[in-house]
Amino acid sequence: MTFEQINTAAQIGTFSVIAITAIAALWQIRVLRQTTQVTALSALLDRWEDPAMRTAYRFLTVTVPQRMAEPEFRSGFGETPVRADVRDALVVMNFFETLGIYVRLRVIPKNAALSFYSSIIANSWDRAKPAIAIMRRNGPAYENFEYLAFLAQSLATFDDYPPNTPRMSIDDAWLEADSPEKGAALKPADDSQRG
């Protein structure tokens, strides 16, 4: 074997080691990214399950729509910082703003985030819009929440179920009993209408 052949074999060997190292590094980066995504999503799921978050969600979705007609309550969203009596709504709005940032920056895949939260995001956005409109009088607010709501509403327009996957059959045993017509027939008669 000549010196040139040995040198060529060494160069091929070196290239092979570098190529294998690069492939291993790319694989490690992929695994690290997936681990980061799972960790971030797990942290958000834990935060969502916190009782304080559930209380804040109820405040945003029930109390805020009921009280937005009250000028004093409504004005709390226009103050900077937002007044304490409306701050519970911000807990949920900030949660989805953060989730929107994570999705936009691809820290969490949008399909993963939307699989867990799409209907909650859409409901929260619908309830928060009037408050956000007031807050936007002072400048930009909740653009990432808005982006996330757009994605959630877009998801609602098509069936995200995997294609060519059969659906499970579900029998609604209470459909007839719970139908409005049946419920009206079961409603007790009003005593004032009795002769």
Provide mean pLDDT across the span 35-45.
74
Residue 121 reports pLDDT greater than 90 = yes
Provide mean pLDDT across the span 138-157.
88
Q: What is the pLDDT of residue 82?
A: 87
Q: Average pLDDT, whole number, for the chain?
A: 83
Higher-pLDDT residue of 179 and 144 is 144
Higher-pLDDT residue of 19 and 53 is 53
Residue 187 reports pLDDT greater than 80 = no
- The confidence band for 160, taking pLDDT boundaries of 50, 70 and 90, is low
| pTM to 2 decimal places | 0.68
- The confidence band for 159, taking pLDDT boundaries of 50, 70 and 90, is low
Q: What is the pLDDT of residue 182?
A: 55
Residue 193 reports pLDDT greater than 50 = no
Q: What is the pLDDT of residue 186?
A: 45
Three-state SS sequence of the chain: CCHHHHHHHHHHHHHHHHHHHHHHHHHHHHHHHHHHHHHHHHHHHHHHCCHHHHHHHHHHHHHHHHHCCCHHHHHCCCCCCCCHHHHHHHHHHHHHHHHHHHHHCCCCCHHHHHHHHHHHHHHHHHHHHHHHHHHHHHCCCCHHHHHHHHHHHHHCCCCCCCCCCCCCCCCCCCHHHHCHHHHHHHCCCCHHHCC
Higher-pLDDT residue of 88 and 16 is 88
